[in-house]
Every structure is written in C-alpha cells, then in structure tokens.
Amino acid sequence: MMIMNKKLSKEEFFKKREEIRSHWPTGADERLEFEKAVALLKSVPDSKNFAKKLRFAKEHDLTMIQPRAGVALVDQHIELMQFLEKHGKADFLPSTIDSYTRQNRYSHAEDAIKQSLKQKRSMLNGFPAVNHGIDGCHKVFENVNVPLQARHGTPDARLLSEIIHASGWTSNEGGGISYNIPYAKNISLEDTIRYWQYCDRLVGLYAEEGIELNREPFGPLTGTLVPPSISHTIAIIEAILAAEQGVKNITVGYGQCGNITQDVAALQTLDSLTNYYLKIFGYDDVFVTTVMHQWMGGFPSDEAEAMSLISLGATVATLGNATKIITKSPHESQGIPTKEANAEGLRASKLMTRMLKTQRYPSDDVLKAEKEMIEKEVKTLLYATLNIGKGDFAQGVIQAFKHGILDIPFAPSEMNHGKILPARDLRGNIRILEFGNLPFDDEIKRFHKDALEARGKAEGRPVSFKMTIDDIYAVSQGILVGNSEYKEPSL
C-alpha cells in the first residue's frame, strides 16, 4: 500500500505491534501490554513528565538544559544520570542509545555488553535500551528525578520506542526523515516514514488515554553547514506527520550555525512557522516548543576553546528564546565525555541561561531581513514538497528527496541527492553555493550568490567548493569563516 500522511487505524497498529514485540526477547515482557504501560505512565509525576515540564518552561519563559549521555551497563548509566542531574543541574535527562541498537543489531550489542563487563569500561557509545529491556530502562527511570528521553538516530525505532515509553520515559527523539537521511545509507524513506508513523501513533494512542508524551524531530540533521530553511522545512514536515498520528506535544530543533543574527532569526522563525503551518494544515491543538543544539560540527580540541563555544551556544539559545538547549562538553572533539566533562558543559550553559534570563535579542532590520528570507525559503520548499506529493506530505517527502527538491548537505543516505553545497558569507551566515534542484526563485538565488560573491571579493578568490571545505574545518580551528589561503597579519 502506498504510504500516505494518514492516521494508522488501531487494528493496523496492534497487529503490527505483535510482530514488533517479537524482534528481540525483551519485547515479550508483559509490562509491554498496552493497559499495563498506560497504568505505569499514568503514575509518572508531573515533575518527571517531559511534556509537562516543557509546558512549564514555555509558560515561564525559561531556557532549560539537557546533555547527551549513555553507557553500556545499567548501573553505570544510572550513576551517570544521577551525576548529570546533581552536578550538571540538568533540567532534562537523555539516554543516548548506542549505535548497534540504532541499526537494530541487538546481538552485536549483547556481545558488547559482555565485553564491557569483562573490560570494566563501556565498549558502547550509548545505552543499549532494547537489550536491557523494561527491567533496565525502568530502573533508570526510578533512579532519577527529572524527565527522561531516548535520544538516538534509529531508522526503525519501533521496539525501542515501545520499551522506553512502557518504562516511564516521556519523550522520544527522531523522525522518518531526520533519523534516516543523516543516519542511514540505503533505507528507503517509504520505510522510515512508516516506522515513525508507528512511533508517533503509539504516542497518539497514549494521548487518547490522557497521557501527554513529548516528541522531538531531530533538527540539526548532519550538523554540518545545514541552511536553516532546509532544517526548518524538515522539522515542520515531521511535526505535521507526528500531529496526524495524534502527537500533541512537539519540540522542533535547530543546530547552531554560528552567526548570532542568523541563529536568532532561525530560532524565532522555527517557533512561529511550525505553529503557523500546523494550524494551516489543520492541526490546531499541538503544543510547540523549540530546542537549540549547541554547535554540531567539528569542535576545537582545546578544552577552554570548546567551553567558550559552548557558552556562545547557550547565549544565542537564550537570547533567541529556545525552550531547551542540548549541550556539548569540552571533550567533544575527542570522544564521549567523562561525566565530569559533561557536567561542566551543562553548568557553563546553565550560567548563561540564568544571566540572560530577562534579555532578548533586539529586533532590527538585519534580523528582520534574515527572518523574511528564511520564511520565504521555507514556504517555497514546503509547498514544492506538497505539490510533488499531490497534496500529501508523506508522498511529497519521498518524491522531493528523489528529485532533489529537498536536499541535505553531506548526508550519507543514497536517498539524498547530495547536490547542494553550502558556504558561509563574510559575516558567517550559512548561504547556498550550489543549489542542486532546490526550487528557489531567482530572487532567493541572487541573494545567496551576492552574499558569497562579496566574500570571494574580500578574500580575493573565486567562490568555490574550497570555501565549503575551509568552512567545515573552520570552527575546529577557532574561526567561523574559513580561509586556508589567509595569512594572519602581524605587527
């Protein structure tokens, strides 16, 4: 059957559910029976409910913080979570899932759990929630005081989603596009949209029982020079797909670009456009919040420099009124951080959100122009997607990626055209150098071209792929706009 943006029926859902529970032995746990899971979720106090805490944050105009973190074994994972709560002052906790689980390689994860026990260090880059099952996941839930979310990158997260929600975790990150194109090589969008409709429908079914859970499309995509209009369009489409399945509490995301004005413009439009288009397409009762991810590209290796970049991220997120920040650590360029380093990134971020609590970025003509351009581009991409899908967003996404109407820079997926190239302008705004098949009109294209030509002129070199490469390395080298031919003037 052709996939459409249409709510799955209960019969379809529960039929599929039987099969999914058989994918790994932990799926047979009787606490996964729907009524039992409902009872457990109803007992979760508001202070540990992700959706409710986000409402609280937005009502009180707060910017909250959340790290990424996860290790192989349950007890060590709990120790890590407790540490980040206590010493990092995390408002929300994650459980970052390991990469074998993300690719549904549960037997690989099982081996790695054994290895980790033997070697007494985590051999996995995250928490293998499916292997630990409800036993392990619920134990984690019971041992923390703030809401928990699964953060991953899993194209097929159906069993994972079942297990985490039935363990009391009240948010799930991901989506059919954002957990495919940056995270897979040759899984079709048709499949991943179907898988994520299932995860969203699960949340929708809980909503019908009076349980509010949060869903968060993954905003930053490849984290590498992604123009805001592209990530916004995908976030909005994933919000629409989730809303159709009955999700009522959605956090849309964005990865910090580096130019402060562009970042604030992006955060403000992410909120306004998501609300606007959800209503336009008939989803009136969705509560929307935003999350900004601190710099998602290559980090400087010097820890002081890394911390400075982390603080800049917290600054723009707060000035731009994001509801939540995903923080980084000073170990980012090297490897999974120690719990101490992770907590340092959190505390540095928390300080900024507190100091800047009552300050907002002032509106001026530059900000306005930036916002207008994002709005115009998003509108173009969104309607081009809808049109090629003959009025259906699920079909639209599949066709749009096939024809390069939607295109994500540096993505590993073969479903992606990979024809567009971004580069920064003189002020560090992310612009588009090669448009591939993006359906932009001449005015938009001219705007990007002019900006990049101005950079070329100032740097005395032609506009080319060389700029893109320089920009990919730039931040890790402590600058924003890269120029490998540039010699620092000396006195």
Partner 1 sequence: MYTVVIGVIGADVHAVGNKIIDHVLKEHGFNVVNIGVLSSQEDFINAAIETDAKAILVSSLYGHGELDCKYMKENMVEAGLSHVKLYVGGNIVVGKQDFTEVEERFKKMGFDRVYPPGTNIEHAVGDIKEDLADA
Q: Which residues are designated catalytic? A: 102, 173
Q: Where are the beta strands (DSSP E) in 303-428?
A: 324-326, 421-424
Contact between 299 and ligand B12 by CB under 6 A: the answer reads yes
- Which lies closer to ligand B12 via its Cβ, residue 223 or residue 228? 223
Q: Which of residues 182-201 bind ligand B12 (CB under 6 A)?
A: 182
- Which lies closer to ligand B12 via its Cβ, residue 155 or residue 204? 155
Which listed option, ligand B12, partner 1, none, makes contact with residue 124 (CB within 5 to 8 Å by class)?
partner 1
Using the Cα atoms of residue 11, residue 12, residue 13 and residue 19 in order, give the sign of their dihedral: positive
Rounded Cα distance, 382 and 232, in Å:
10
Q: Which of residues 278-307 bind partner 1 (CB under 8 A)?
A: 298, 301
Q: Which DSSP category does 27 fall into?
A: G
Contact between 125 and partner 1 by CB under 8 A: the answer reads yes
Contact between 121 and partner 1 by CB under 8 A: the answer reads yes
337: left (phi over 0), alpha (psi -120 to 50) or beta: beta
The three-class DSSP label of residue 150 is strand
Rounded Cα distance, 392 and 267, in Å:
27
Interface region with ligand B12, contact rule CB under 6 A, candidates 131-139, 294-302, 424-432, 441-449: 294-302
Contact between 224 and ligand B12 by CB under 6 A: the answer reads yes
Contact between 99 and ligand B12 by CB under 6 A: the answer reads yes
Which listed option, partner 1, ligand B12, none, makes contact with residue 112 (CB within 5 to 8 Å by class)?
partner 1
Contact 97, 127 (CB under 8 A): yes
- Which lies closer to ligand B12 via its Cβ, residue 95 or residue 289? 95
Contact 177, 153 (CB under 8 A): no
Tokens found for residue 116: 């980790």
x/- map, 142-161, partner 1, by CB under 8 A: -----------x--------
Contact 227, 431 (CB under 8 A): yes
Look up tokens 């052709």; give the residue. 2
Of 378, 273, 326, nearest to 91 by C-alpha is 326
- Which lies closer to ligand B12 via its Cβ, residue 298 or residue 436? 298
At how many degrees (to 10) do helices 365-388 and 393-402 cross?
100
- Which lies closer to partner 1 via its Cβ, residue 103 or residue 275? 103
Contacts (Cβ under 8 Å, ≥6 apart) of 433: 421, 422, 423, 448, 452, 463, 464, 465, 467, 468
Rounded Cα distance, 224 and 393, in Å:
25
Rounded Cα distance, 132 and 126, in Å:
12
Of 285, 371, 287, 295, nearest to 326 by C-alpha is 295
CB of 315 vs ligand B12, minimal distance in Å: 19
Contact between 174 and partner 1 by CB under 8 A: the answer reads no
Q: Where are the beta strands (DSSP E) in 200-248?
A: 214-216
Rounded Cα distance, 115 and 216, in Å:
32
Contact between 418 and ligand B12 by CB under 6 A: the answer reads no
Tokens found for residue 330: 């000073």
The binder of ligand B12 chosen from 5, 66, 96, 259 (CB under 6 A): 96
CB of 379 vs ligand B12, minimal distance in Å: 27
CB of 27 vs ligand B12, minimal distance in Å: 22
Contact between 412 and ligand B12 by CB under 6 A: the answer reads yes
For ligand B12 (CB under 6 A), the number of binding residues is: 24
The three-class DSSP label of residue 416 is coil
Of 107, 110, 101, nearest to 157 by C-alpha is 101
Of 75, 68, 72, 38, nearest to 168 by C-alpha is 38
Contact between 96 and partner 1 by CB under 8 A: the answer reads no
x/- map, 321-360, ligand B12, by CB under 6 A: ----------xxx-xx------------------------
Contact between 486 and partner 1 by CB under 8 A: the answer reads no
Contact 148, 169 (CB under 8 A): yes
The binder of partner 1 chosen from 87, 404, 412, 456 (CB under 8 A): 412
Q: Which of residues 436-475 bind ligand B12 (CB under 6 A)?
A: 472
- Which lies closer to partner 1 via its Cβ, residue 44 or residue 475? 475
Contact between 308 and ligand B12 by CB under 6 A: the answer reads no
Rounded Cα distance, 367 and 363, in Å:
6
CB of 76 vs partner 1, minimal distance in Å: 12
CB of 111 vs partner 1, minimal distance in Å: 8
Which listed option, partner 1, ligand B12, none, makes contact with residue 105 (CB within 5 to 8 Å by class)?
partner 1
Residues of the shown chain interacting with partner 1 in the complex, contacts defined by CB under 8 A: 99-100, 102-103, 105, 108, 111-112, 115, 121-125, 153, 182-185, 222, 224, 298, 301, 331, 333-338, 341, 410-412, 465, 469, 472-473, 476
Residues of the shown chain interacting with ligand B12 in the complex, contacts defined by CB under 6 A: 68, 96, 99, 102, 125-126, 153, 182, 220, 222-224, 296-299, 331-333, 335-336, 410, 412, 472
